A and B are shown apart, each in its own frame.
Chain A
Amino acid sequence: AQKVTQAQTEISVVEKEDVTLDCVYETRDTTYYLFWYKQPPSGELVFLIRRNSFDEQNEISGRYSWNFQKSTSSFNFTITASQVVDSAVYFCALNTGTASKLTFGTGTRLQVTL
């Protein structure tokens, strides 16, 4: 069985603060893929990043960075110098590659205020 845990239900930060969203996953498969999606109030899930189980390189994209550690089964997401537009619900998801089914975490609501 697969499981994704996002222990942080809600995080509030002031603009320009750095914030890290935690994601811990469980799977018995050796090949799997991890994703982060952003859901603004409009409802659409916006794809942010995909990482496969064989690539533990961290990734940086502008103010966003991701830290993948197989040893701790974690795939954490950091926003540097947060902005009000970053306010949204962020979901971590897992796919084992045998089907399109994504297993989502419960999401972390990020509120960035001025």
Chain B
Amino acid sequence: KAGVTQTPRYLIKTRGQQVTLSCSPISGHRSVSWYQQTPGQGLQFLFEYFSETQRNKGNFPGRFSGRQFSNSRSEMNVSTLELGDSALYLCASSLAPQSGNQPQHFGDGTRLSIL
């Protein structure tokens, strides 16, 4: 069974640009969550999507947005990039929300560097 696939693996952007990251969940998984990992703040929850609807959102500015498609694939977008957005962005999928009953499975992440 293929795992969670995130593309691209690495990305370099400059301040002010925007970026779109992609996540394909494990087949059959319908819930997708995004996390940001930085050395200073650690792993922080960005948002969660299920059935093409955002169910939860972390404490991030509106520059961070996402969406989910009918095939459960998800994208996240960051506009007007800032140096502080440099991070590893991890996508996780689970069968359904309320993942206490099922663990979230993570992809390899997209490492975003802002110059």
B98 and A98 form a contact (CB under 8 A):
yes
B15 within 8 A of A: no
**CB-defined interface of A19-34 with B at 8 Å, one 1/0 digit per residue?**
0000000000001110
Given the interface pairs A37-B106, A43-B111, the reply to whether A95 lies near B42 with Cβ below 8 Å is no
A99 and B108 form a contact (CB under 8 A):
no
> Which DSSP category, helix, strand, loop or mixed, fits chain A's interface?
loop
How many residues of A are counted as interface, with CB atoms below 8 angstroms from the partner's CB atoms?
27
> Which DSSP category, helix, strand, loop or mixed, fits chain B's interface?
strand
Q: How far is the CA of A42 from the CA of B6 in the complex (A)?
A: 13
B107 to chain A: closest residue by CB? A44
Partner-A contacts on B (CB < 8 A): 31, 33, 35, 42-43, 45, 48, 50, 55-56, 58, 88, 90, 92, 94, 97-101, 103-109, 111
